[in-house]
């Protein structure tokens, strides 16, 4: 019923918007949020493909949705550690601008 090509297209568009966010923004927190958006786009692709191949009746294949749960777990862990990094960076430099942590740049 729902055209799955459009689901995959939506996932690709959201992923692209996430990449634009990571490349363009200066605030470290917004970069982390754009990474979350990319995770969400990938989750949508997983769920869409799982809908396309739900397995035989009586033996459902829920691999895509299990993957989504694992991606959510990993994203939660990554957000926790990433925000810890943001807080310690703020303590050291009083700013979360990624243009300021450029000491190792050539």
Pick out residues in 65-104 that bind other proteins (CB under 8 A): 65-66, 68-70, 72-81, 83-88, 90-91, 96, 99
CB of 92 to other proteins, least distance (A): 12
- Which backbone phi and psi does 105 adopt, to 5 degrees? -75, 155
CA-to-CA distance for 49 and 18, rounded, in angstroms?
21
Q: Which is nearer to other proteins, 23 or 104 (CB)?
A: 23
Site pattern 20..39 for other proteins (x: CB under 8 A): xx-xxxxx-xx-xxx-xx--
CA dihedral 41, 18, 14, 70 (to 10 degrees): 0
Give the burial string for 5-20 (b: 16+ CB within 10 Å, else e).
Answer: eebeeebeebbeebee
Residues that bind other proteins (CB under 8 A): 1-10, 12-14, 16-21, 23-27, 29-30, 32-34, 36-37, 40, 43-44, 47-48, 50-52, 54-55, 57-58, 60, 62, 65-66, 68-70, 72-81, 83-88, 90-91, 96, 99
């Amino acid at each position: 019923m729902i055209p799955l090509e459009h689901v995959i297209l939506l996932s690709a568009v959201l992923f692209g918007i996430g990449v634009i966010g990571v490349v363009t923004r200066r605030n470290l927190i917004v970069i982390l949020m754009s990474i979350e958006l990319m995770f969400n786009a990938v989750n949508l692709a997983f769920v869409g493909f799982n809908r396309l191949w739900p397995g035989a009746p009586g033996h459902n294949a829920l691999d895509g949705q299990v993957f989504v749960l694992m991606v959510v777990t990993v994203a939660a862990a990554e957000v926790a550690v990433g925000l810890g990094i943001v807080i310690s960076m703020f303590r050291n430099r009083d700013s979360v601008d990624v243009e300021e942590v450029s000491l190792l740049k050539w």
